[in-house]
């Protein structure tokens, strides 16, 4: 019985150790060194090479080493009848909330202006608004989005959230579905995106959304790069409809050197670091899922492939 590690970007070392500890009788292989393909029962994947999961006749589950499954599901050769399991929580919500809170405070406390003033040795106080006057909107109220919304609300910001179902989150004003989007955007001075990337959410951070926000708003994207229509974001910043953006994820990663986001004065770029997956935080969930499957029990974090998340 073999566990296959398939990733174009992550090192296998920590997962090799975790699997050796939990499943000493299973072999651990790293793609493309698959060994006998009919021995492979489980695939641990993150940005797998396209086609790498095809032709594995006894594969029982695809365990994604992250919360977002868009890259895995976009593989045309993904076996149709094998369950895809994602990480749920696994230490990700806390760091995501810290990143989002930092972004909100950075904008609210006018830090970009003060960084610039310091370079000119300029002592000048800027008008500031209290947290309670600074409305934040969180798109996506899942395991991560709900934590992001609660943490920002706990600092005194009025927070609203938007999701498909409109499930409630304590201390957060909730809006749901297509009908709830415009009222949600109209009240959100800062928009924090924590949606999964699906056919419904691709390009959601585009001109229409920015125009529905209050003038001079801010965007924080920690979902996926393809949520943003890059040209629309630059146009909204250049026209003053938006005042700033902090972006952690990009349609192409690493962000190409020539991309205009790197040099735009109102954009802060970080290299997909809001919440890296740490084996120490997530291995127990991966191990538990393999154990469940070995015992014939239902696994956790099953992705609904039709919904795309």
Is 57:36 a contact under the CB 8 Å cutoff?
A: no
Which range in 76-84, 116-124, 157-165, 280-288 contacts ligand NDP by CB under 6 A? Answer: 157-165
**Closer CB to ligand NDP, 143 or 228, in the complex:** 143
Please give the helix or strand (H or E) that residue 219 lies within, else none. strand 217-221
Cα atoms in the Cβ-side hemisphere of radius 13 Å centred on 187: 20
List the one residue out of 188, 75, 196, 215 whose CA is nearest residue 140.
196
Q: Indicate if 189 belongs to the active site.
A: no
Q: Is 277 in the site for ligand OXD (CB under 6 A)?
A: yes
In the list 91, 198, 281, 305, the residue contacting ligand NDP (rule: CB under 6 A) is 198
Q: Distance (Å, rounded) from C-alpha 238 to C-alpha 148?
A: 28
Q: Distance (Å, rounded) from C-alpha 115 to C-alpha 72?
A: 40
Q: Please, which of residues 68-107 interact with ligand OXD by CB under 6 A? A: 68, 92
- The token pair at 13 is 């070392």
Q: Collapse the DSSP code of 111 into the 3-class scheme (helix H, G, I; strand E, B; otherwise coil) and give the result.
A: helix
**Closer CB to ligand OXD, 9 or 116, in the complex:** 9
Q: Please, which of residues 15-34 interact with ligand NDP by CB under 6 A? A: none
Which range in 62-70, 113-121, 153-161, 295-303 contacts ligand OXD by CB under 6 A? Answer: 62-70
Q: Is 66 in the site for ligand OXD (CB under 6 A)?
A: yes
Please give the helix or strand (H or E) that residue 17 lies within, else none. helix 13-22
Please give the helix or strand (H or E) that residue 211 lies within, else none. helix 207-212
Q: What minimum distance in Å lies between the beta carbon of 98 and ligand NDP?
A: 11
Which range in 3-11, 13-21, 198-206, 236-244 contacts ligand NDP by CB under 6 A? Answer: 198-206
Angle between helices 111-119 and 93-108 (to 10 degrees): 60
Please give the helix or strand (H or E) that residue 218 lies within, else none. strand 217-221
Q: What minimum distance in Å lies between the beta carbon of 94 and ligand NDP?
A: 11
Binding site for ligand OXD (CB under 6 A): 66-68, 92, 277
By annotation, the residues acting in catalysis are 224, 272
Instruction: Provide the binding-site residues for ligand NDP, judged by CB under 6 A.
Output: 67-68, 92, 96, 140-145, 163-165, 167, 194-198, 200-201, 222-224, 248-249, 272, 274-275, 309
């Amino acid at each position: 019985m073999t566990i296959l590690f398939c990733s174009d970007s992550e090192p296998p070392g920590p997962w090799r150790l975790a699997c050796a500890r939990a499943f000493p009788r299973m072999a651990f292989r790293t793609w493309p060194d698959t060994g006998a393909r009919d021995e492979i029962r489980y695939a641990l994947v993150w940005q797998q090479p396209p086609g790498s999961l095809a032709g594995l006749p006894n594969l029982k589950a695809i365990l994604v080493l992250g919360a977002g499954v868009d890259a895995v599901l976009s593989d045309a050769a993904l076996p149709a009848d094998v369950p895809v399991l994602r990480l749920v929580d696994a230490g990700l919500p806390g760091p995501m909330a810290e990143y989002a809170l930092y972004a909100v405070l950075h904008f609210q406390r006018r830090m970009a202006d003060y960084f610039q003033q310091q370079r000119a040795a300029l002592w000048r106080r800027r008008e500031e608004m209290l947290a309670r006057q600074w409305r934040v909107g969180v798109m996506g109220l899942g395991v991560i989005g709900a934590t992001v919304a609660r943490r920002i609300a706990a600092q005194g910001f009025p927070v609203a959230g938007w999701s498909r179902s409109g499930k409630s989150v304590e201390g957060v004003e909730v809006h749901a579905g297509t009908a709830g989007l415009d009222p949600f955007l109209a009240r959100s001075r800062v928009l924090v995106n924590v949606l999964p990337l699906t056919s419904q959410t691709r390009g959601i951070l585009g001109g229409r959304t920015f125009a529905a926000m209050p003038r001079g708003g801010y965007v924080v994207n920690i979902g996926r790069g393809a949520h943003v229509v890059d040209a629309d974001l630059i146009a909204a910043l250049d026209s003053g409809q938006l005042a700033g953006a902090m972006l952690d994820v990009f349609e192409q990663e690493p962000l190409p050197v020539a991309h205009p986001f790197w040099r735009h004065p109102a954009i802060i770029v970080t290299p997909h670091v809001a919440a890296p997956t740490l084996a120490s935080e997530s291995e127990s969930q991966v191990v538990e899922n393999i154990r469940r499957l070995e015992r014939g029990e239902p696994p956790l974090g099953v992705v609904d492939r039709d919904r795309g998340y």
